Structure 1
Amino acid sequence: MDTITPDEGTVTYMVDVDDYTFHWETEEEERPQHYFPGSYHPVEIGDQFSNGRYTIVHKLGHGGYSTVWLARDEKHGQFVALKIMVPEQQSQSEAHNYGIEIEFLRELHQIPTNHPGKLMLMSCLDSFSHDGSNGSHLCFVSLPHRMSIGQSRHESHGTGTFKLQAARAMAAQMIIMLSFLHSNGVVHGDFTPNNVLLAPPDLSHLSTEDLYHKYGEPIKAMTERRDGKPIPAGVPPYIVPEIWFGDRSTELELQNAKLTLTDFGEAWKPALRSRYQLNTPDNYRAPEANFAEKENVPIGFPSDIWSLGVGIFEIFGNHLFEGSPDPDGMLEDMINTLGKPPQRWWDLWEAKDEFFRGDVEWDEDGTYPYREHILLEERVCGWIGDAHRDEMTNEEIEDLYSLIKGVLCWEPDDRLTADELLRGGWMKRWGLPALQAMYEARGESRNIMSEIDSIDRMELATAEKGGSTRWQAAASGVTMPEFAAAWWMKVRGLLGFPRA
């Protein structure tokens, strides 16, 4: 077993947070006050899990409901990602049921299909429960990845745009991911750049010491109580900043643009249950989520497509929506981009008078007079075209605009389906060729065009079935009732609930 000796690192400045003072290099990690009964499990470098099988060597990241650690699998001699969830009693809502997340991944990976999107999903290598000072935590083991494409953009500290060929390949993969999910009746529910990860670095030949030599040893940001009292049992003695695998968006090369979709904690099957709320961040959340409960209209597959459109825009350009960080401010920004919303939503929007004058007379192009607005065409053809003006032809800009315009529609039923995007002009002329070039740059023997062409058309939701709309037919891959019942029984067992 490798010997692990964390480095205390360089103290940059000190931060006071409630009762704690800790030495810190960045402001992007979890805080000591986030550790308490029912919340994060305190982890130290060298800690072991699952009867000594997994040894913590570094930190990969954290989210609102978990921390993620780089661990050494002592059984197989490889590095893995260990995701430690907050205790189940703190995440019993439908949106954060991690037992369902794990079961979703297992069921999706068991589907017999030749769809290339299946290979783009995170794999669950192992799962177990761990009892700690802050509760019982469900743990999820997978392959370690670098960072999300959202974080890659953030780390660029500039435009955040990717190189054009890498952007094409990433957008193509995101379309393929959703095509696979939707053809099997699954809505992801949180399809944002922060849940799409860059390919794992090659760590197979590294020992722990080699890892530290190449990427740096873990830094300990020591935690102290301001009153000098001992740190409680549920608070770690230090916080570990994330390991840096790279790459910033502006530096990402094509061969490193391979993606993996993760975080299925918000996923659901519309054929099995209806949902009227989304926990997607405001700037990626589809507009119908603001009115679904009032209209009593369930949210479905088109909500993922909206998030996809925003994400694709950001891969090629910068932020599409930069309004107020709340649903009402975001609706204002959407109106300034797309023009007049459906009248029924306008009538239901209680806060509209805070942003618009009472009696609105819309211009012929659907925009609101007397205020600044930049419509979608200018944002795509102008902003993105200018960012890549030396590389993008007018034909490509027009194809990209047609794609984004086809998914960022107010009405959910007006949006293109994932299969329509998969078979569309942008994918054929720009997305798939770039993706093929990425596989070749990685030395992978793939023919992505043939793989797409050979997808069983019966898997894809393009035809009406039983009088349903083309969007409702996207659930044609749902499980049979008896299989769905068995699936739910397994989830209940995983969470420790009675099976009867």
Structure 2
Amino acid sequence: MFSLDGPNGRHRCLVTEPGMMTIAEAKDTSYTRLFKLPVARAIMAQVIQAVAFLHHQGVVHADLHAGNIMFCFPNSIDELSPGELYQKYGQPNIEPFVRLDSKPLSNGVPTHGVVPIWLGKESELVTLSEAKIFINDFGESFLPSITQRHYSNTPGILAPPETYFLLHEPLSFPSDVWTLACTLWDIIGQRPLFEGFNPSSDWMIKEHVDALGKLPCDWWHKWDARGRWFTEDAKRTSEGAGRSLVSRFVDSIQEPRRGSAMEDVGEAEMNALLTMLRGMLAFRLNERLTSTEIIESEWMLRWALPELGKVAT
């Protein structure tokens, strides 16, 4: 870590190891948007372990998503000198900054930018030996023992329901667990667990109820827009049937895998994984699994950790 003084003031800079690509980039580059099942298990195991480590250190990440999980470079990249790196991947592509009105750049505006190099690959091409990841971007992270955080900058489709209903209660580790569940789903599936384009809070609450069932009574009656989609017993109105968690699992994970001739999730594993995810997505914070309980879950012990052990070897 170091501080940089420039025309825009002093900035604290944190240096971390470079990553090959993010989970999101690997999926966006792919037509299938899927990882092979062993690879997905190994990645998910590491993400769970990383979040558990942060929580044991008293840290809430607060911005966990597929764009903040990086694949590690192979060790061979460390053996390249700068010259060898340029010879293998080409010289940096530098683009000058030009104002649309052709006026000179203001003080504090950089003269050029460097186009990021692409060293990654499509998600389905990632091998188990390459499935080593680390979490980055701790700009939203905080210590709940020191800082009371009453807002979330997590993307709407990942934000937990307490950000809508418990506005005066500080966020803590359970909020990370909810976002972790959504991120795990994104890793093993083709589509996200909850969906919406620039969604409103009402739309996201609708998604939560669709997938997980009726809100706790006090939240339910506090949600004024419930009548747009649901009857008072949380049945869908005439707009059509909702999508349960199991239906979403089939639509987002199983069918895309079968359609891409990739291994799908077996029944025993699916039941164990859904049990874990339901525990992570409990509406009541005191009923939500802790990171320690997630590590000790059946799915983690029977499917994820054994796959991760193959990566280490």
TM-score, scaled to structure 1: 0.57
1:162 aligns to what?
A: 35
Cα displacement (A) at 1:433: 0.8
Deviations 1:113-133 (A, max 9, x none): xxxxxxxxxxxxxx2111112
SS of the residue corresponding to residue 98 of structure 2 reads strand
Q: 2:67 & 2:101 partners in 1: Cα distance? A: 37
Q: 1:327 & 1:208 partners in 2: Cα distance? A: 48
Asked whether the equivalents of residues 45 and 305 of structure 2 are also in contact (C-alpha less than 8 Å), the reply is yes
Deviations 1:201-243 (A, max 9, x none): 4322212221122222222233322333222332233332211
Asked whether the equivalents of residues 187 and 301 of structure 1 are also in contact (C-alpha less than 8 Å), the reply is yes
Q: 1:324 & 1:340 partners in 2: Cα distance? A: 23
Residue identity opposite 2:183 in structure 1: G
1:25 aligns to what?
A: none
Check if 1:302 corresponds to 2:170: no
Of the candidates 204, 209, 226, which is equivalent to residue 330 of structure 1?
A: 204
Q: 1:221 & 1:349 partners in 2: Cα distance? A: 49
Of the candidates 369, 380, 387, which is equivalent to residue 256 of structure 2?
A: 387
Q: 2:164 & 2:41 partners in 1: Cα distance? A: 31
Q: 1:134 & 1:413 partners in 2: Cα distance? A: 44
Residue identity opposite 1:397 in structure 2: M
Q: 2:67 & 2:237 partners in 1: Cα distance? A: 35
Q: 1:222 & 1:252 partners in 2: Cα distance? A: 34
2:291 aligns to what?
A: 418
Cα displacement (A) at 1:386: 2.4
1:369 aligns to what?
A: 237
Of the candidates 99, 114, 135, which is equivalent to residue 240 of structure 1?
A: 114
Q: 2:12 & 2:26 partners in 1: Cα distance? A: 28
1:347 aligns to what?
A: 221
Deviations 1:84-136 (A, max 9, x none): xxxxxxxxxxxxxxxxxxxxxxxxxxxxxxxxxxxxxxxxxxx2111112222
1:224 to 1:273, Cα distance in 2 relative to 1, 3 A: closer
1:207 to 1:274, Cα distance in 2 relative to 1, 3 A: same
Cα displacement (A) at 1:181: 2.0
Q: 1:130 & 1:421 partners in 2: Cα distance? A: 40
Structure with greater helix share of residues: 2
Asked whether the equivalents of residues 278 and 285 of structure 1 are also in contact (C-alpha less than 8 Å), the reply is yes
Residue identity opposite 2:53 in structure 1: F
1:264 to 1:227, Cα distance in 2 relative to 1, 3 A: closer
Q: 1:284 & 1:211 partners in 2: Cα distance? A: 37
Asked whether the equivalents of residues 277 and 292 of structure 1 are also in contact (C-alpha less than 8 Å), the reply is no
2:123 aligns to what?
A: 249
Cα displacement (A) at 1:251: 1.6
Equivalent residues in 2 for 1:286-301, closer than 5 Å: 286-293=160-167, 296-301=168-173
1:285 aligns to what?
A: 159
Asked whether the equivalents of residues 97 and 111 of structure 2 are also in contact (C-alpha less than 8 Å), the reply is yes
Asked whether the equivalents of residues 192 and 307 of structure 1 are also in contact (C-alpha less than 8 Å), the reply is yes
Q: Percent identity?
A: 37
Q: 1:301 & 1:194 partners in 2: Cα distance? A: 20
Residue identity opposite 1:306 in structure 2: W
2:53 aligns to what?
A: 180
Of the candidates 303, 307, 315, which is equivalent to residue 187 of structure 2?
A: 315
User: After the TM superposition, which of the residue ranges 316-325 and 165-174 deviates more from structure 2?
Assistant: 316-325
1:327 to 1:239, Cα distance in 2 relative to 1, 3 A: farther
Residue identity opposite 1:421 in structure 2: I
Larger of the two Rg values belongs to structure: 1
Check if 1:397 corresponds to 2:270: yes
Query: Relative contact order, CA 8 A, sep 6+: which one is greater?
Result: 2
Cα displacement (A) at 1:421: 1.2
Asked whether the equivalents of residues 66 and 183 of structure 2 are also in contact (C-alpha less than 8 Å), the reply is yes
In structure 1, stretches of 5+ residues that fail to align are 1-126, 441-500
1:204 aligns to what?
A: 78
Asked whether the equivalents of residues 201 and 245 of structure 1 are also in contact (C-alpha less than 8 Å), the reply is no
SS of the residue corresponding to residue 333 of structure 1 reads helix
Residue identity opposite 2:256 in structure 1: A
Q: 2:3 & 2:194 partners in 1: Cα distance? A: 40
Residue identity opposite 1:234 in structure 2: G
Residue identity opposite 2:112 in structure 1: Y
Cα displacement (A) at 1:310: 0.6
Asked whether the equivalents of residues 231 and 237 of structure 1 are also in contact (C-alpha less than 8 Å), the reply is yes
The CA RMSD over aligned residues, in Å, is 2.1
User: After the TM superposition, which of the residue ranges 411-420 and 424-433 deviates more from structure 2?
Assistant: 411-420
In structure 2, stretches of 5+ residues that fail to align are none
TM-score, scaled to structure 2: 0.89
2:304 aligns to what?
A: 431
Deviations 1:421-469 (A, max 9, x none): 11111111110111001111xxxxxxxxxxxxxxxxxxxxxxxxxxxxx
SS of the residue corresponding to residue 142 of structure 1 reads coil
Cα displacement (A) at 1:260: 0.8
SS of the residue corresponding to residue 21 of structure 2 reads coil
1:411 to 1:197, Cα distance in 2 relative to 1, 3 A: same
Deviations 1:312-355 (A, max 9, x none): 111111211222423332222222222322222233335556x4
Residue identity opposite 1:368 in structure 2: R
Asked whether the equivalents of residues 166 and 257 of structure 1 are also in contact (C-alpha less than 8 Å), the reply is yes
Deviations 1:249-295 (A, max 9, x none): 122111111111222222223333432211111111111111222xx
Structure with greater strand share of residues: 1
Asked whether the equivalents of residues 323 and 330 of structure 1 are also in contact (C-alpha less than 8 Å), the reply is yes
Of the candidates 3, 14, 29, which is equivalent to residue 140 of structure 1?
A: 14
Q: 2:288 & 2:255 partners in 1: Cα distance? A: 26
Cα displacement (A) at 1:309: 0.7
Q: 1:241 & 1:386 partners in 2: Cα distance? A: 37
